[in-house]
Amino acid sequence: MSNITTQFHDTLREVFPDVADTEISCLKAGEGSWDSLGHLRLMMAIEASFGISIPPDAFDKLQSVDQIEAYIRSQ
């Protein structure tokens, strides 16, 4: 796994500690504790972890682990 993937998965585990390691890569918005507040927490944690700023307009488009990782890589 690349460094970005590792760092991103660490962030996911921190925000959603109840999710099993094996399920983390297929996580989607709306499932379990990834509700609307969970989404904000995740966005905040990613901004802090990667030192980036995600505009609110992009929040709605980042609905799965894959989409978010692609977004982080594009920054």
Write the CA distances from 26 to 18, 20, 56, integer angstroms.
14, 11, 23
Q: In angstroms, what is the minimal distance from the CB of 44 to other proteins?
A: 5
Q: In angstroms, what is the minimal distance from the CB of 56 to other proteins?
A: 5
Question: Do 12 and 6 form a contact (C-beta atoms < 8 A)?
Answer: no
SS3 state of residue 64: strand
The mark string for 40-69 relative to other proteins (x by CB under 8 A, - otherwise) is: xx--xx-xx-------x--x----------
Residues making contact with other proteins (CB under 8 A): 17, 36-37, 40-41, 44-45, 47-48, 56, 59
